[in-house]
Amino acid sequence: MDPIHDSARALARAVNARDASAAEIAEALIPHAARADAQLAAYLELTPELMRAQARRVDERVAAGESLPLAGVPLAIKDNMCVLGTRTTAGSKILENFVAPYTATAVQRLLDAGALPVGKTNLDEFAMGSSGENSAYALTKNPYDLDRVPGGSSAGSAAAVGGFAATVSLGSDTGGSIREPAAFCNVVGFKPTYGRVSRYGLIAFASSLDQIGPFARSVEDAALVYDVMAGKDPLDATSVDRAVEPTAGHLREDLRGVKVGIVKEFDLAKLDPAVRACYEAAYADLERLGAELVEVTLPTADYGVATYYLIAPAECSSNLARFDGVRYGLRVDGPDVGAMYERTRAAGFGPEVKRRILIGTYALSSGYYDAYYLKAQKARTRFAEDFARAFERCDVIASPAASTTAFKFNAKSDPLAMYLMDYYTIPVSLAGLPSLSVPCGAAVPDDGTRPMPLGLQLATPLFTERALLGYAHAYERATQHAQKLTPPETANA
Active site residues: 78, 153, 177
Parallel/antiparallel/unpaired status of strands 188-191 and 435-443: antiparallel
Backbone phi, psi, residue 381, to 5°:
-60, -40
The whole-angstrom separation of Cα 362 and Cα 72 is 48
Parallel/antiparallel/unpaired status of strands 116-121 and 168-173: unpaired
The whole-angstrom separation of Cα 61 and Cα 63 is 5
Return the closest-CA partner of residue 141 out of 452, 447, 435.
452
**Contact present, 221 and 110 (Cβ < 8 Å):** no
Which residues are 400's β-sheet partners? Answer: 456
Backbone phi, psi, residue 459, to 5°:
-140, 145
**Contact present, 134 and 154 (Cβ < 8 Å):** no
**Contact present, 149 and 168 (Cβ < 8 Å):** no
DSSP at 212: E
**Contact present, 311 and 209 (Cβ < 8 Å):** yes
The whole-angstrom separation of Cα 18 and Cα 9 is 14
To 5 degrees, how large is the angle CA 47–CA 51–CA 52?
120
Backbone phi, psi, residue 55, to 5°:
-60, -40
Return the closest-CA partner of residue 114 out of 58, 49, 59, 64.
58
**Contact present, 162 and 178 (Cβ < 8 Å):** no
Q: How is the chain split among helix, strand and coil, in percent rounded to 5?
A: 40, 15, 45
The whole-angstrom separation of Cα 12 and Cα 187 is 20
Backbone phi, psi, residue 77, to 5°:
-125, 125
Burial degree of 435 (CB within 10 A; 0-12, 13-18, 19+): buried
Backbone phi, psi, residue 492, to 5°:
-110, 20
Backbone phi, psi, residue 214, to 5°:
-95, 155
User: Strand (E) positions, 334-377?
Assistant: none
The whole-angstrom separation of Cα 36 and Cα 261 is 39
Parallel/antiparallel/unpaired status of strands 168-173 and 211-216: antiparallel
Q: How many helices (H) and strands (E) does the chain have?
A: 15, 11
The whole-angstrom separation of Cα 95 and Cα 133 is 18
